[in-house]
């Protein structure tokens, strides 16, 4: 029996006393790294780069390096566009089985990864890692155009649309376009007339959460928006914007009947009532 055949036989006979390398452990020259045991010295040698962070195997397509041949093989599926692993729930396909397994957690509603700071749970470890950046205040993702930094890569990607001027999310009702899907979703409430954000003080409802937040300042008596000319304060930015034309002597709202101009739209509307007897369909013209 030659040496290769003998070594192969011993791999299938782990309980035989004749096997001399059954207890080979993963070690470096000086210390024990992990307690894994291996059937042969060659397997030990394959394990060592994992601990040394040596990435000796490079992808010929993207130059990304890996510690083992099996990981490199898995990576190559990314470039092949072959997606052999299908989700039985939503039919989404993946190039790797481990990616499919991670995806399946979304359907199971299992959230095994918990934030140690706020106890929020996530179905994927990568989602937890992204979330942890919020607590660290680290903003590691920087825009190459304006140097603005973000704590999450997804936020940077969304931000980049501002520079490209691409508005990929279109409203199916009015064709208005948006940089972000979240902005489109908020806009759609305008068409649905759904007002899901209710004030707990006066029960007034709003289409957007930001509108509710602005409204709540009315009840708190906080006036955070100050006029730089006269120091008058307002509870909402929109009120400040309405006030500013007073200082500029701007009269942007013009009556189409008598050409008289007004600083505020509300003043024009009051004025138009005087023309109601002889002018029914008067349009408000904004200069």
Q: What is the pLDDT of residue 16?
A: 45
Confidence category of residue 4, pLDDT binned at 50, 70, 90: low
Lowest mean pLDDT among 54-68, 123-137, 144-158, 169-183: 54-68
Residue from 151, 201, 198, 192 nearest 171 by CA: 192
User: Burial code of 262-283, b = ≥16 C-beta within 10 A, e = fewer?
Assistant: bbeeeebeebbeeeeeeeeebe
Question: Would you say 254 and 281 are in contact if contact means Cβ atoms under 8 Å apart?
Answer: no
Residue 19 is predicted with a pLDDT of 39
What pTM, to 2 d.p., does this model score? 0.34
pLDDT tens per residue, range 6-38: 655 555 554 444 434 444 444 443 334 455 565
Whether residue 97 is predicted with pLDDT greater than 60 in this model: the reply is yes
Q: Are 206 and 222 in contact (CB under 8 A)?
A: no
Question: What's the pLDDT at 28?
Answer: 41
Torsions phi, psi for 170 (to 5 deg)? -105, 140
Distance separating alpha carbons of residues 142 and 50, to the nearest angstrom: 30
DSSP code of residue 227: -
| Domains of the chain by start residue, with CATH | 1-82 (3.30.160.60), 93-166 (3.30.160.60), 173-243 (3.30.160.60), 251-287 (no CATH)
The kind and range of the H/E element at 242 are helix 237-243
Q: What pLDDT does 89 receive?
A: 85
* pLDDT at 157 exceeding the cut of 50: yes
* 256 close to 242: Cβ distance less than 8 angstroms: no
What's the chain's average pLDDT? Answer: 75
């Amino acid at each position: 029996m030659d040496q290769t055949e003998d070594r192969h036989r011993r791999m299938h006979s782990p309980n035989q006393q004749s096997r001399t390398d059954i207890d080979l452990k993963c070690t470096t020259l000086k210390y024990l790294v992990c307690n894994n045991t291996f059937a042969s010295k060659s397997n030990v040698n394959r394990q060592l780069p994992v601990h040394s962070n040596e990435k000796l195997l490079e992808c010929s397509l993207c130059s990304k390096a890996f510690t083992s041949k099996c990981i490199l093989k898995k990576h190559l599926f990314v470039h092949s566009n072959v997606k052999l692993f299908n989700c039985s729930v939503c039919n989404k396909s993946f190039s790797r089985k481990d990616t499919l397994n991670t995806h399946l957690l979304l359907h199971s509603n299992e959230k095994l990864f918990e934030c140690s700071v706020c106890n929020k749970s996530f179905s994927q470890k990568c989602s937890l890692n992204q979330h942890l950046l919020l607590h660290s205040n680290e903003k590691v993702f920087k825009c190459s155009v304006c140097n603005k930094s973000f704590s999450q890569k997804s936020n940077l990607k969304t931000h980049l649309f501002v520079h490209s001027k691409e508005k990929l999310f279109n409203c199916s009702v009015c064709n208005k376009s948006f940089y972000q899907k979240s902005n489109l979703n908020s806009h759609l409430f305008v068409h649905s007339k759904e007002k899901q954000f209710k004030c707990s003080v006066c029960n007034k409802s709003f289409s957007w959460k930001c509108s509710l937040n602005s409204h709540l300042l009315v009840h708190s008596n906080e006036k955070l928006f100050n006029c730089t000319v006269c120091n008058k304060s307002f509870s909402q930015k929109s009120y400040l914007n309405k006030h500013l034309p007073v200082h500029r002597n701007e009269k942007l709202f013009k009556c189409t009947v008598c050409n008289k101009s007004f600083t505020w739209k509300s003043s024009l509307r009051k004025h138009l009532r005087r023309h109601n007897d002889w002018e029914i369909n008067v349009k408000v013209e904004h200069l």
